[in-house]
A and B are shown apart, each in its own frame.
Chain A
Amino acid sequence: MKILVGYKRVVDYNVRVQVKPDGSGVATDGVKLSANPFDDIALEEALRLREKGVAEEIVIVGIGPADLTAHLRNGLAMGANRAIHVTTDGAPQPLTAARTFLKLIEKESPDLVILGKQAIDDDANQTGQMLAALWGRPQATFASELAIADGKATVTREVDAGLETIEAELPAVVTTDLRLNEPRFIKLPDIMKAKSKPIDVIEFDSLGVDSGDHLKTTNYAPPPKRSKGEMVEDAAGLVAALKQKGLL
């Protein structure tokens, strides 16, 4: 069985994200970029399926500029068999990403596609769902457990009411939630091995995907600053202050 894994590069979760002074976006110069944490979880789950003997080949997919190679090498060092790099200077929106994946699915015919439930930069949470719809295959989102048997995926989903277990016929799209697994550390010798693993480079334009802007970003702004607090003498002072603000 072949598994396709989405492997997006985002501003590291630990970075204090800063809006550019002109409001045109988020500053990424000199900013640490790393794999979307949910995508690392997706890759880890694929690796575990391969270690269990369920899967044979894991292909990671990245869509982005030329320097995405180093990021894909990390995924290969973690254990993916090979990578596909769709090169584009733009940042694809979810629908474009889903359409791109669909094109790759037509080429690769995977039995399972595992994506992060969302990327931590735009937090859209759409690509997996859109891809399943475009592909006409089942989706199992927010997975916290995944088992594959007899051409079916049994997925425990994290839903508002608790946990829901569903069965999906393969091929299918699964998106990962935080508790699915804890990704492994990359081992140094594996970084060396990853250097010789193949990365197929495909130009985005050659895929014939409609990249029209479905969403238009008008402005970025940081959340309003919290104004300075006010010290009150005692409980009576607090009550008076709250009343003054019309909160009591």
Chain B
Amino acid sequence: MSERETMEYDVITVGAGPAGLAFAIRLKQLKPELNVCVIEKASTVGAQILSGAVIEPEPLNALLPEWGKNPPPICVPVAEDELWMLRDHENASKLPTPPQMHNHGNYIVSLGALCAWLAPQAEALGVDIFPGFAAAEPVFDDHGAVAGVRIGDMGVARDGSEKPGYTQGIDIKAKVTVLAEGCRGHLSKQLIKKFALDRDSDPQTYGIGMKELWQVPEGRVTPGKVVHTLGWPLDPKTYGGSFIYHLDDNRVAIGFVAGLDYEDPNFSPFEAFQQLKHHPKVKALLEGGQILSGGARALVEGGYQSLPKTEMPGAMLIGDAAGLLNVPKIKGTHQAIRSGMLAAEHVAEHGSSEGFDRALRESAAVAELKKVRNIRPGFHKGLWFGLFNAAWETVTGGLSPWTLKNRADWSSLHRLGQYESPKRDYVDRDLPPRDRLASVYFAATEHDEDQPVHLKVSDTNVCITQCAEEYGNPCTRFCPANVYEIVEDEAGKRLQINAANCVHCKTCDIKDPYQIIDWVTPEGGSGPSYQNL
């Protein structure tokens, strides 16, 4: 094998999301002489970004004061807020909107489109952005510090052999590596473990978010209207809710988030989302419309107490790779941009990652998380306690002398037989998509079938024996893209992994109760291709 090619940069950023791009832009603003690159596994910037998204503009104002003169393609000022409690499949009550969820002055955007809009602005400052290149693994120097990343090989067959077009991935070496991979980043996960960055924090917790962008008939949309719902189709023990954001041009973004600390092994987040769309409050908006794009992505929910140390020798974590999303606000973009800018200022001043964790913890980003730290864990005790606790924490401004604990999502799943699934009060569905395969079609996901399976299950025997018995193979239900199937043929039952369907949401890596699924990067450019999500 020939010697692996190497490129050198001062700083490499992994992931062209809001955190990574804000970092690169800010660093070049401060230190134009530094060489900065951003690598991105999606074939174009924004194609694998999925978010609500209502954003607070302040950090963007700080990063690009003139941004309003040339706004991103989808950018609708919020006009009104509503919060609904769906009591069952047909009834609903309007709730007062809690202060964190007031969105006056905020904007409804497509985060994918926003990043696609940020990328050329970064490039104009001299940042090299390389979409279609996946960081497969970290590279270390002789002292064990992170020294860059290795790009995945292209043209490897399913069995690991080299196909005719085989192209070896290069190493990108850098003085500082910035991990901006988003929630449950594949390199971040490895490095948090290697450097024991989560030694002094609670386990990170997550939710799964699914979203569809709809084109609906004329006259139904109120541009700028923001609606959130709680309650049905979730049972009170499961945390979650929906968002319905009215855009322009008769478009509506609708999404659903379920906490991955759910207990019911028979629960299917995808089905819950589809049910939600059939509540009369929602269905009236969508009926007769069509889906433009759809997908799914895990999000971090652990907040303050789950925030790992965000620096290690040679590298740092920003945005949701660190876990900065503010759950009560249901927003993370402002935190991502803020942490990206802070990291850039730190690197510009110190030239290394050292001291970044402290700087971040002293910043407004972490202060914001600390204030709301007890709200999300309050929902471990159910919806009603959670709402009561949230009201208390809000009134007291997070000054409670206690900090509620988080525990790992995979450990919350109950075993079959030890848990009685609640009566779900589900309805017959007729809105698209019919099922998960039909849904994946809207994600436009694509993986060359002849490449190694990028969902590594270390022991597939467990699936057929232990897991089937204990949990009834929850992977076949929590995956929103129907990647996992138990099939039966002459040889008996076995796990079939339809890796080509994967939308890179990372839920399996998080929720699998045995923690034997490892999501790794597929060939660069593979995966979903979202439009305006």
Q: Do A and B bind each other?
A: yes
| Chain A residues within CB distance 8 Å of chain B | 12, 14-16, 18, 21, 27, 29-32, 34, 182-189, 191-192
B215 at the interface (CB under 8 A from A): yes
Cβ–Cβ contact A185 & B167, under 8 A: yes
CB distance from B524 to the nearest CB of A (A): 8
Cβ–Cβ contact B47 & A32, under 8 A: yes
Cβ–Cβ contact A188 & B165, under 8 A: no
CB distance from B447 to the nearest CB of A (A): 10
B113 at the interface (CB under 8 A from A): yes
B446 at the interface (CB under 8 A from A): yes
Interface size class on chain B is 35 or more
Cβ–Cβ contact B116 & A30, under 8 A: yes
Contact of A29 (CB < 8 Å), options: B73, B132, B529: B73
Contacts A182-B165, A187-B167 aside, 13 further interface pairs with beta carbons under 8 A come to A12-B529, A14-B444, A15-B529, A21-B215, A27-B292, A30-B532, A32-B44, A32-B47, A184-B165, A185-B165, A185-B167, A188-B172, A189-B7
Cβ–Cβ contact B250 & A21, under 8 A: yes
CB distance from B10 to the nearest CB of A (A): 15
For A32, the chain B residues whose CB sits under 8 A away are 43-44, 47, 529, 531
| Contact A192 B7, CB 8 Å, known A29-B532, A30-B110, A34-B43 | yes
B164 at the interface (CB under 8 A from A): yes
Contact of B292 (CB < 8 Å), options: A18, A182, A183, A185: A18
CA distance A14 to B441 in the complex (A): 10
Name A's interface SS: loop
For A187, the chain B residues whose CB sits under 8 A away are 5, 167, 170
CB distance from B49 to the nearest CB of A (A): 11
CB distance from A44 to the nearest CB of B (A): 10
CA distance A12 to B132 in the complex (A): 14
CA distance A108 to B397 in the complex (A): 72
For A31, the chain B residues whose CB sits under 8 A away are 531
For A189, the chain B residues whose CB sits under 8 A away are 5, 7, 170
CA distance A62 to B132 in the complex (A): 22
CB distance from B214 to the nearest CB of A (A): 12
CA distance A24 to B231 in the complex (A): 42
Residue ID in chain A nearest B443 by CB atoms: A16
Cβ–Cβ contact B154 & A185, under 8 A: yes
For A183, the chain B residues whose CB sits under 8 A away are 165
B393 at the interface (CB under 8 A from A): no
For B529, the chain A residues whose CB sits under 8 A away are 12, 14-15, 32
B442 at the interface (CB under 8 A from A): yes
For A21, the chain B residues whose CB sits under 8 A away are 215, 249-250
A-B pairs, 4 with minimum CB distance: A30-B532, A185-B154, A185-B167, A14-B446
CA distance A30 to B72 in the complex (A): 11
For A186, the chain B residues whose CB sits under 8 A away are 132
For B116, the chain A residues whose CB sits under 8 A away are 30
B209 at the interface (CB under 8 A from A): no
Cβ–Cβ contact B112 & A30, under 8 A: yes
